[in-house]
Amino acid sequence: MLDLNYIRKHPEEVKRAAEGKHDHADVDKLLELDGQRRGLIFESEQLRKTLNETSKEIGRLKKEGKDASAQMSEMKDVSKKIKDYEEKLRELDREMKEILIVIPNVAAADVPAGEDESANVVMRSWGKKRKFSVTPKPHWELGTALGILDLERGAKVSGTGFPLYKGIGARLERALFNFMLDLHTSRHGYKEIFPPFLANRASMTGTGQLPKLEGDMYRVAEDDLFLIPTAEVPVTNIHRDEILSHEDLPLCYAAYTACFRREAGAHGRDTRGIIRVHQFNKVELVKFVRPGSSSDELESLVKDAEEVLKLLELPYRVSKLCVGELSFASSKCYDMEAWAPGVERWLEVSSCSNFTDFQARRINIRFRDEQGKVQFVHTLNGSGVALPRTMIALLENYQQADGSVVIPKALLDYMGGVDTIRP
């Protein structure tokens, strides 16, 4: 969440920032409650001062053998007022938190203005689109013909949007995330984490998925647990309510998980193939860093994700998202899109975000600097990278005229001697 002091000083900026993200921030109501709260705190402090001073006077009167009943009666009323104020303060705190928790993060100064993806700015691209001698097939035709993707049986088991990989297809899926984990842990310095796939409400709220996106989440009602939409949730919450040492930072974690999203607002979109699914695999990168280094750490995070696509030799581009495309918690974000010639589209395979101290304030992750001062960390995360769209790009870019698909060199050591998938 945002720092309340920041909101007090920049209320109009916070309102504009929320509007830019297509959200509403009830800043006026928040500041009204804040004024009431500060007034109650002042009055409570005055009453406590009176209580302390009168208590001393009562003690003195009793010591001198004098009657202190009037003062004692008065202090009973004062004590009751203090308790009443404490109850009102708790209620105000609750109301303020309800507002604060739904105010989005403010976009960084260099984020482009704009309402939708048309205002995103392509920063760079890598690789060349392959020229085919025949019209390239989409991944669902390739997967079916090769016997590696069975969407009909996946739907029979769970419903549409739950892909089923078979044989070499299952091995290729496993090869991809094992390759990514090995790359990020051995070359990029991330520590591997294998977290739970279910998260509690506090964890989901802490990273910003709740309350806004609850409709997109799969929930186990009996336990009030959620199937994670991304490893960002459990990994970021590892250090909830902790004070880290400056010597610990930066902390960099890489985690493979399955991810689950209802995609409640996307009915009717990308219904063919596996472009938009409810369950998918992903390797997530999460960083906890000093406030002054988070901008540089974001650029480094993007490069780590880019290397996955470079080693797989998949054409891609990196875009800086405009304000209207930023997530609720993000201050700045880059999207990475791989080219998929069968569907003739750029497909998002990674989003890399700097959340500044927004998540850290929600889940209370701090660090103690060299001078002993306690500050909130900055958190970042990015896909390094996500499937199945990377799988789509791989199948469609590496298809051959005879219907086979060549395995990228970077994955050969993970494929048990298989270098080509043949019909």
Residues labelled as active-site residues: 261, 276, 348, 351, 389
Question: How many Å is the maximal CA-CA distance in the chain?
Answer: 109
Helix (H/G/I), strand (E/B), else coil: 335: strand
**φ/ψ of residue 384, rounded to 5:** -130, 45
Q: Label each residue of 114-172 as H, E or C.
A: CCCHHHCEEEEEECCCCCCCCCCCCHHHHHHHHCCECHHHHHHHCCCCCCCECCHHHHH
**Using the 8-state DSSP alphabet, how is residue 393 labeled?**
H
Give the distance, in angstroms, between the CA of residue 257 and the centroid of all CA atoms in the same chain: 14
Q: Dihedral, CA atoms, 218, 204, 173, 272, nearest 10 degrees?
A: 50
Structure tokens at 119: 């205002």
Residue located via tokens 């899109």: 337
Closest CA to 326 of 288, 361, 354, 349: 354
Long-range contacts at 164-169 (CB < 8 A, ≥ 24 apart) = 168/415, 168/418, 168/421, 169/143, 169/421
- Alpha-carbon distance of 386 to 238, in angstroms, equals 21
- Alpha-carbon distance of 361 to 353, in angstroms, equals 16
**423 contacts 345 by C-beta, under 8 angstroms:** no
Residue 319 identity: S
Q: Dihedral, CA atoms, 351, 354, 357, 362, nearest 10 degrees?
A: 0
